Chain A
Amino acid sequence: MDLAKIKAFDSRDGALVLAHILFAFFALFLGGIAGLLQSVVRGGMYTLPGGIGYYQLLTAHGVLMALVFTTYFIIGFLYSGVSASMGGKLLPVVRRFGWTGYVFMTVGGLIVLIMILLNKASVLYTFYAPMKASPYFYTGLALVVIGSWISGWGIFKQYWYWKKTHHGKLSPLFGFMAVVTMLLWQVATIGVAVEVVVQLIPWSFGWTEKINVLLSRTLFWYFGHPLVYFWLLPAYICWYVIIPNIIGGKIYSDALARMSFLLLFLFSIPVGFHHQLMEPGISSFWKYVQVVLTFMVVIPSLMTAFSLFATFELNGRSKGTTGLFGWLKVLPWKDVRFFAPFMGMLVFIPAGAGGIINASNQMNVVVHNTLWVTGHFHLTVATSVALTFFGITYWLIPVVTNRVLTPRMNRLGIIQTILWCVGMFFMSGAMHLVGLLGAPRRTAYTTYGDTPEAVSWMPYQAVMAIGGMILFIGVLLMVYNVAALLRSQKGVTAYPLGESMEPEEATPRYLERWGLWIGLSVMLILFAYSIPVMQMLGPMVPESPGYVTW
């Protein structure tokens, strides 16, 4: 590669990206400490000192890992790709959107964290009513969400500007996928925003006395399911757009990649009931309807799996490999920028299968609120998504800081990836098994008075603790790797954007008719939610006062 031709990443855009990535890893570090403590407490190996509650730690762990680490990393990564693929430099106004969003999110996030540490919000990251946290906790959450909207608007603006100045041309794939991701976020967060601003904030300040509990939970899960696709889509962007470049191949089908993202957008939102299958007040009919819609979201994931294997195999054949599995030989296994995301892809097979099990209507009764569910999402977000994000970090930090990934850093990255997989195998594996035996999630150490069932769970919980300890070492190593990358050897690293195998003409333009796709999404949401939500409203529906039970 001609080094003179590699364009250095814009330094002002780089500062914005780096601020997001570093805050994300700061959250991962704090969240990892909480997770370690939780695992050794449940494993019966450690008693928390007075002054720290298990449920405080659990709230912090969920907020830091599932809201802060993810959202900051995603926004930083998306801004980096939007800059690199759509103009090479963000518009000044777009950078302002980015920084404004960052400030709102960070101020809100710090308020949330302080309330959790003061034990005024030990309500877990799902903050279910009628447990009533401090009004400042909910206000902080609202600021985080508003900040993320502002960040999203920056990405929309850059995309709109690129389309205007490249009239008639197909948008770059990264830019398109970033827009779908933030559009999904915008539509999904409407639910939690209504819950927090209309219901929880007035109620927690005392301006209203009671709250409609079922409605608040429904609004949350309207948001809570697409939240996991907000995490997944950026990982898919890496798999679709970045990995082909890293392996020296090409993107298999630009059109189908865009179609898969639009299908994910459509079918990830009108499906919240599959998190509420065990609840009263929602009819079996509407639970089943949303289960059907949930299963439809498997299609774009199957499309993604096909695209990836096609990319790998065609890459192999273009390099002369033959046979059914020859392409495996030419994949860069020793390159952490490939290896970490690849492990994420591999783990997504059991992770996704577990998701289908969880959504299986009445069969959910076997696993609801057990540690099986915890095992599931430690595979999906904490392995598939997290390892992909870690893999991205090994080139993203060098790109935005004008450094290179050295062989030593690459080796440390491979070690970190393997540690993570081993730790997760033990922890998530044990969680799945003990969950099938009925062990509840979100519960501190207990044997329920030495009942035989609960005592039988303890060996699994001990294995969970061992897995947790290995994972914590993995967190420490990742944090070290991030710090080391910031001081790595100077140089220029190109932004690894993949190129499509097909000409631009092969992608149908209706894939960018945003009005069409937003319209379809609205119709699906109205279909799936209107009637059951109307059955939750009305003057005769009893509401509940607040409780502080911790």
Chain B
Amino acid sequence: MHIHRLEKIWLGFGLVMLFVFLAVLGVAAFAMGIQPPSPHHQMIDPTKVKETPPFDQPGIRQVADKEYEAVMTAYAFGYAPAAMEVPVGSTVHFTVTSSDVVHGFEIPGTNVNMMIEPGEVSQVSHKFTKPGEYLILCNEYCGIGHEMMATKLIVK
């Protein structure tokens, strides 16, 4: 099959760009640990969320200096616990599951954005360096109250 010299250059240029993009993404993910959320597969019975630790006691707890774990449940149409507060400069490890349908978990203005699925536990961590009231909203359609499903994280 005849391929024109200019086309070979064009496609070669395209392949090099793709290779560079994939290298950047791969190095960031596997050498620097900047991965998509929930790298560890952890399952849970979605009908027994309220009885299964740690979701039997949703809440925010300090686990180390400037480090917190936020154990949360998503449901139609809200999150438990309802309100959370951490000091500025804290890293929060969010551990979230759903007790009903698929929900989203997004904090606008940050890189916290993940899916919450019944049967699975989702994890993401974020360091809150600026004080303020952070909106946590559901960005995956979950029913008639979807647009009201939100909560807040206050960083003081």
Q: Do A and B bind each other?
A: yes
Let me know if B60 is at the binding interface, CB within 8 A.
no
A363 near B25 with CB under 8 A, answer yes
Partner of A299, one of B15, B25, B44, B148: B15
Q: From A436, which residue of chain B is reached at the shortest CB distance?
A: B108
**B25-68 at interface with A (beta carbon < 8 Å):** 25-26, 28-30, 34-39, 41-47
Let me know if B90 is at the binding interface, CB within 8 A.
no
Residues on the B chain within 8 Å of A296, using CB: 18
B7 near A542 with CB under 8 A, answer no
Let me know if B139 is at the binding interface, CB within 8 A.
yes
B101 near A440 with CB under 8 A, answer no
B150 near A128 with CB under 8 A, answer no
B36 near A364 with CB under 8 A, answer yes
User: Known: A302-B14, A441-B139. Is A361-B25 also a contact (CB below 8 A)?
Assistant: yes
Interface residues on B, range: 35 or more
Distance in angstroms between the alpha carbons of A283 and B117 in the assembled complex: 15
Q: From A453, which residue of chain B is reached at the shortest CB distance?
A: B108
B106 near A438 with CB under 8 A, answer yes
Residues on the B chain within 8 Å of A280, using CB: 37-38, 41-42, 114-117, 120-123
B36 near A287 with CB under 8 A, answer yes
Q: From A273, which residue of chain B is reached at the shortest CB distance?
A: B36
Distance in angstroms between the alpha carbons of A283 and B2 in the assembled complex: 41
Contact flags A351-370 to B (C-beta < 8 A → 1, else 0): 00000100011111110111
Partner of B29, one of A288, A535, A543: A288
Let me know if B147 is at the binding interface, CB within 8 A.
yes
Distance in angstroms between the alpha carbons of A544 and B45 in the assembled complex: 8
Residues on the B chain within 8 Å of A441, using CB: 139
Distance in angstroms from B78 CB to nearest chain A CB is 12
**A421-453 at interface with B (beta carbon < 8 Å):** 437-446, 448-449, 451, 453
**Most chain B CB inside 10 Å of its own CB: which residue of A122, A279, A360:** A279
Residues on the A chain within 8 Å of B114, using CB: 278-280, 365
Let me know if A213 is at the binding interface, CB within 8 A.
yes
Residues on the A chain within 8 Å of B25, using CB: 288, 291, 360-363
B119 near A549 with CB under 8 A, answer no
Residues on the A chain within 8 Å of B36, using CB: 277-278, 284, 287, 361-362, 364-365
Distance in angstroms between the alpha carbons of A214 and B116 in the assembled complex: 11
Distance in angstroms between the alpha carbons of A387 and B47 in the assembled complex: 47
Residues on the A chain within 8 Å of B21, using CB: 295, 356, 360
**B73-131 at interface with A (beta carbon < 8 Å):** 76, 100-102, 104, 106, 108-109, 111-123
Q: From A296, which residue of chain B is reached at the shortest CB distance?
A: B18
A255 near B122 with CB under 8 A, answer no
Residues on the A chain within 8 Å of B121, using CB: 280
Q: From B107, which residue of chain A is reached at the shortest CB distance?
A: A438
Residues on the A chain within 8 Å of B142, using CB: 131, 549
Distance in angstroms from B151 CB to nearest chain A CB is 10
Contact flags A507-538 to B (C-beta < 8 A → 1, else 0): 11000000000000000000000000001000
Distance in angstroms between the alpha carbons of A327 and B110 in the assembled complex: 47
B120 near A214 with CB under 8 A, answer yes
Q: From B8, which residue of chain A is reached at the shortest CB distance?
A: A306
Distance in angstroms between the alpha carbons of A544 and B15 in the assembled complex: 43
Distance in angstroms between the alpha carbons of A453 and B22 in the assembled complex: 33
Distance in angstroms between the alpha carbons of A508 and B42 in the assembled complex: 50
Knowing that A122-B144, A306-B10, A365-B36 touch, tell me 7 more A-B residue pairs with CB under 8 angstroms.
Answer: A131-B102, A255-B1, A256-B7, A278-B115, A368-B113, A444-B146, A445-B147
A/B interface sample: 27 pairs, CB < 8 A: A53-B144, A213-B118, A279-B115, A279-B120, A280-B38, A280-B41, A280-B114, A283-B41, A288-B30, A295-B18, A306-B7, A360-B25, A361-B29, A362-B29, A362-B36, A363-B25, A437-B108, A440-B104, A453-B109, A506-B2, A541-B119, A542-B45, A547-B76, A547-B100, A549-B142, A549-B144, A550-B143
Task: List the interface of chain A (C-beta within 8 A of B).
Answer: 53-55, 58, 122, 124, 128-131, 212-214, 217, 253, 255-256, 259, 276-281, 283-284, 287-288, 291-292, 295-296, 298-299, 302-303, 306, 310, 356, 360-366, 368-370, 437-446, 448-449, 451, 453-454, 506-508, 535, 540-545, 547, 549-550
